[in-house]
Amino acid sequence: MALISLAFSLVIILPVLLFVYHQTDRLYEERIRDRVQDGERDMLFAYASGGLPALVDSIDDVIGTGAMRGGVVLVVDPNGHKIAGNLAGWPPILRTPTDWVELRLYREGQTGAELFAIRTVGLRNGERLLLGTAIEEREHMRAALLEALLAALLLAIPLGLVGGWIVLKVTERRARAIGNVAGRIAAGDFSHRLAAEKETDEFAILARAINAMLERIEELVEQLRLVTDSLAHDLRSPLTRISANLERAATTSADIQQQALEAVSLDVERMLRLISATLEISSTEAGTGRQHFEQFDLADLLRDICEIYTPVAEERGMAITLDEPEPVTYFGNRQSIGRAVANLVDNALKYGGGSISLGAADHGDRVELWVADRGAGIPSEQREHALVRYRRLEEARTTEGSGLGLALARAVARLHGGDIELLDNQPGLRAVMTLRRGPDNLSSL
């Protein structure tokens, strides 16, 4: 990883350094050309104004204090004889006109050759003009720039290695933390979590996602343990009774045999209902049922449930009413929602008192269904406990039931993107199912 980081650093740095070198050299070249062109403009202006004498007079100013100070200027006649300038003669390899060329020339009074950028111009009477500026400074600049760029490149290598090493260590530390937690989870200890981080980088996002996953895994494992314990508890009693009744049926009279077999049949039916409810909750939590989503009216569903349970409520001296809602069109699993509401009504009939009311409300992006009773209610600290499967507030389990009604209702609500909430009805309990609308629901509004 450190070497990869270094490679990426070099891939980024090299083009930047080359760009800096190219731009600096180009700007210096433009500066050299500007100097020669300024000198050429001054001298041609003098030639146009006063002819050859004025041109000759301007040479000293141009190479002494003007734009081409320290440069070379030479004027020759049509035959190549020197008229004025600081060169001994016209270089034989130069033609007229010449745009730009680099040559080493000897200025008069100098013992060594210097590198010049040269330009030649033909004048109207056949004379020729040579202008040049020294570019030794440019060569020094190029050499210095190359040295600086090479030094920057050499410095980038250890810096890249250090940066890669730091990235490696940070990555190792965070990956090791994830690995340690994963190892403990694999060993069966679900209590460990990754350190909560407020950063928004990928590792922080991953840590939060893993912690959420571990919370869910721990919850599922706890539910599995609870399911196992509760199933063992709820199945042990009917199985014991079945065994006893079968022994009675084998050794007693026909009438007692009939009673024993009826008791066995009743216990088997209860166990089948328990197992069916458990399987239904598990399949609902797994998302099974989405393929049966359809458009229907929740108000009609509540009317059907109210009609079915009215005789049962009257037998128990209770009243069940429907808060007549407006039509509420919803896209979902009608059968599972009906089963969930029916479970809430069953609980209200079993534990409630006085009267039971059903209703629905449309809130645009969500709908609410509720079942309210006037019974004893559930203490606020035990309401979440009551929504977990097999969690019964009556731990002695003397009342018939499996503790799955509210759990199934919550599973159905979550299948539809919502949840269930138990509220105080003052007095009694108000169970509210929230169902979210998806794109199919919203398009129908």
Phi-psi region of 126 (alpha: psi -120 to 50; beta: other; left: phi over 0): left
For the chain, which residues make up each domain, given as ranges? 2-140, 202-285, 291-442
| Dihedral in degrees, nearest 10, Cα atoms 19, 20, 22, 28 | 160
What pLDDT shows up at residue 54? Answer: 92
User: Per CATH, the architecture of 291-442 is what?
Assistant: 2-Layer Sandwich (3.30)
Between CA 414 and CA 422, with CA 417 as vertex, the angle to 5 degrees is 55
Residues in the chain where the model's pLDDT stays below 50: 395-398, 441-445
Distance of CA 275 to the CA centre of its chain: 41
What CA–CA distance (Å, rounded) separates 188 from 360?
A: 44
What CA–CA distance (Å, rounded) separates 436 from 445?
A: 13
What CA–CA distance (Å, rounded) separates 439 from 365?
A: 10
What does 158-170 look like in DSSP terms, one character per residue? HHHHHHHHHHHHH
What pLDDT shows up at residue 443? Answer: 40
Structure tokens at 298: 């929740």
pTM of the model: 0.47
Structure tokens at 434: 């929230």
Q: Which fold has domain 2-140?
A: Beta-Lactamase (3.30.450)
What CA–CA distance (Å, rounded) separates 160 from 12?
A: 11
What pLDDT shows up at residue 397? Answer: 43
Q: What is the pLDDT of residues 255-283, one digit of tens each?
A: 777 777 777 777 677 667 666 666 666 66
Q: Which residues pair with 429 in a beta bridge?
A: 424
Q: Is 137 helix (H, G, I), strand (E, B) or coil?
A: helix
Contact assessment for residue 350 and residue 378, using Cβ atoms and an 8 Å cutoff: no
User: Per CATH, the architecture of 202-285 is what?
Assistant: Orthogonal Bundle (1.10)
Identical fold at 2-140 and 202-285? no
Total count of residues recorded for the chain? 445
What pLDDT shows up at residue 398? Answer: 46
Cβ-count burial 142-153 (b if 16+ within 10 Å, e if not)? eeebeeebeeee
